[in-house]
Structure 1
Amino acid sequence: MPQPLPSLASLRSFEASARLESFSKAAQELNLTQAAISQQIRLLEDRLGGALFRREARRVKLTELGRLYLGLTASALHDMESAFETVRALARPHALVIKTTPTFASYWLLPRLNAFQRAWPAASLTVTAVEASSGQFDGVGDVAITTGQDQWHGFITTKLFDIDLVAVASPAVARRTDLGPFLAGNTDAIIHTMKRLDDWALWCMGAGVPNFHLERGTILFNSALSYAAAEQDMGIVIAEEAMIADQLAAGSLVEVHSAHVPSGRGYYLLERDHRTRKPIVDAFIHWLQQEMRATTLLLSERRGLGLSSSQG
């Protein structure tokens, strides 16, 4: 039969002592006495059946058992603390918990969120970034914003916009990119996004140019990293046009080709089915849809002015 789990106080005392290499410093951080920390560690060691620390003159050092236990428990403790803070945030007046992808959070939502906070100064906002493919949109939250093809069950889904793919780079990279060799597939200045490995193939098919395979260029984990790398002159990336609307307007990214290729995906707003909307959620969704329309209008105006390509 499994033994009862150690107390959270013991785990927190252990983690702080291991990180600070000191019972006294751990006591200061946790607002406890050094004797209380020592007692929690002794209780934990008794439960485990072995020493977690070597006591030295002015500090403590982890034993092999201690290092093993820290590696197995540190992330779990962090997850418990994160879960507590998330649920506590939900209980606050005017609380709004938004889950979205790292790219949407970094490139679209955060640059605009000040406007919502000015309109709702009492709002208490929590933004959590999780990968679209991770399945974590099922957890705690008032709304989620993610990309896909309307495949979520148990949610009310609202499409915010369709995703068009464009080939973009920094102005410096765009200036030195010879369009002829690029369209023939002859360049190594390519950025691939691990989370969207099909995007180059989709864009190339739509643009009528040869595909750029993975053996050429740089591979980065997600779109947020890829766009940042492109802004730092690392190469050409296939971007979701609406996500980089601000960068296109500011000129930190420019299009190296005029093709705008539908991806077959969209960005969706997800709400839990059968959940009563709070007034703050109503306000956020109304604001979000207004901002989405403004982004769409900005991109349409750019195309109408012939600003969609740096190469003419």
Structure 2
Amino acid sequence: MARRLPPLSALRAFEVAARAGSFTAAASELGVTHGAVSKHIQALEIWLGRRLFRRSGQRMIPTLHGQAFAREISSALDQIVDASRRFGSSASSSVLQVNAPATFAMRWLVPRLHRFYEQRPRAEVCVSTSTTTDHSLTGHFDIIIRRGPEQWDQFESLEFLRERNTLIASPALLRKKPLKKISDISQHTLLLTDSRPGDWESWLKEANFKNDFPVRRQSFDHFFVTLQAALDGVGLAIGPFPVLAEDVEQKRLVTPFRTVAVPRKSYFVLIPKNADQSPLLKAFVNWLIAEGQSASRSRDAGRSRATDQK
């Protein structure tokens, strides 16, 4: 049976207008006139038999039905773009699209990218980020990095980095209020992250903390905000290693009880199944695995030195 599809050019104009927030912005992105966008959307509304936009002052904004329809269409267009990239001729491409969690990208991946460029000087790695609460795997990416393992049926997955949580603080804060023993934590403000519930409870249990849970707390929605608060000396936080190893090496952070550590989920590289895996993609995956192994060896060596010094 033949598919009954609305005009594809009208769908594209509608998706851009809903996403960009105005017909004018959509016209600029598509390289057409404001009137052309308006006619496309009118044609789509007639085809559907339903209004997709309504006037609000001088602007046209999506109706509730239009907003829901736009989300569906945007996801479908992303899949088309993704399939075109994966099944097109990509063997000679020098651009790699990578999506990774924000803190991981900022503190671990990006600071190391220069090493990959030393191996592939003509490559370009475009990094976009997601938050811990964003579990979607949509979008036109060659590689997606997530913590797991999870049910990733449409992807090949390779573990490349294991993490452990431990207590972190700014050196300036501990100069004012030292942490000589675990019980001294009660004298500090604890920095909590809404998207990482249970981190403090797990670490305090591992540390055999006997006191009541400290009263002074400050919560943030995402860990990169919590991390900035720790760097600024607002309080103590629980942070992942080896992702934050560079901050310790540069003396931006200290780990006063580094041998007390709680395992976290590992990082995995995800590659869409049946995708055309270019030499660049394979080289990047191999590089990630090698960097992960190197970081794990450095972490284990650091923990051994700390144990020996006790």
TM-score (normalised: structure 2): 0.73
Is residue 192 from structure 1 mapped to residue 188 from structure 2 by the alignment? no
By how many angstroms is 1:167 displaced?
A: 0.4
Change beyond 3 A, Cα 1:132–1:88: farther
Matched to 1:103, the amino acid is T
In angstroms, what is the RMSD of aligned CA positions? 4.2
Q: Does 1:242 align with 2:238?
A: no
Task: Quote the Cα distance in structure 2 between the aligned partners of 1:50 and 1:290.
Answer: 54
Instruction: Report how far residue 108 of structure 1 moved.
Output: 0.9
Q: Using the alignment, how far apart are the partners of 2:29 and 2:269 within structure 1?
A: 40
Query: What pairs with 1:1-312 in structure 2 (closer than 5 Å)?
Result: 6-14=6-14, 26-47=26-47, 48-49=49-50, 52-54=53-55, 60-62=58-60, 66-80=62-76, 82-90=78-86, 91=88, 92=90, 93-94=92-93, 96-130=96-130, 135-137=135-137, 142-148=142-148, 150-152=149-151, 154=153, 157-179=157-179, 183=183, 185-187=185-187, 189-210=189-210, 216-263=216-263, 265-271=265-271, 277-300=277-300, 302-303=302-303
CA, structure 1 residues 55+113, in 2 after alignment: closer, same or farther (shift >3 Å)?
Answer: closer
Residue 17 and residue 144 in structure 1: after superposition, are their counterparts in 2 closer, same or farther (change >3 A)?
A: closer
Percent identical pairs in the alignment equals 23
Residue 22 to residue 165, structure 1, CA distance change in 2 (3 Å):
closer
**Is the contact between residue 169 and residue 236 of structure 2 (CA under 8 Å) also seen in structure 1?**
yes
Q: Distance in 1 between matches of 2:122 and 2:189?
A: 47
Partners of 1:132 and 1:272 lie apart in 2 by 21
User: In the aligned structure 1, how far is the partner of 2:211 from the partner of 2:103?
Assistant: 24
- Higher mean C-alpha deviation, range 85-94 or range 278-287: 85-94
Task: Report the more deviating stretch, 258-267 or 268-277.
Answer: 268-277
Q: Deviations over 1:30-81 (max 9, x none)?
A: 322444334224324434455945599xxx4337xx4435533454454455
Q: Which amino acid aligns with 2:252?
A: S
The gaps in structure 2 that reach 5 residues or longer are none
Q: Secondary structure at the match of 2:162?
A: strand
SS at match of 1:253: coil
Q: How many residue pairs were aligned?
A: 301
Could you give the per-residue CA deviations for residues 167-216 of structure 1, whole angstroms, max 9, x where no partner exists?
A: 00222223233436962552452122233322212211222214775975
Q: Deviations over 1:141-190 (max 9, x none)?
A: 55443333x45565655443432221002222232334369625524521
- Preserved CA contact (<8 Å) 2:170 2:254: yes
Amino acid aligned to 1:225: V
Q: What is the DSSP-based 3-state SS (H/G/I as helix, E as strand, rest coil) of the residue aligned with 1:40? A: helix
Task: Indicate if the aligned counterparts of 1:15 and 1:70 stay in contact, CA closer than 8 A.
Answer: no
Distance (Å, rounded) in 1 between the aligned partners of 2:13 and 2:274: 41
Query: Any idea what SS the aligned residue of 1:174 has?
Result: helix
Distance 1:140 1:54, change over 3 A: closer
Q: Would the aligned equivalents of 2:183 and 2:211 in 1 still touch at CA under 8 Å?
A: no
Structure 1 length as normaliser, TM-score? 0.73
Asked whether the 8 Å contact 1:185–1:210 carries over to 2, the reply is: no
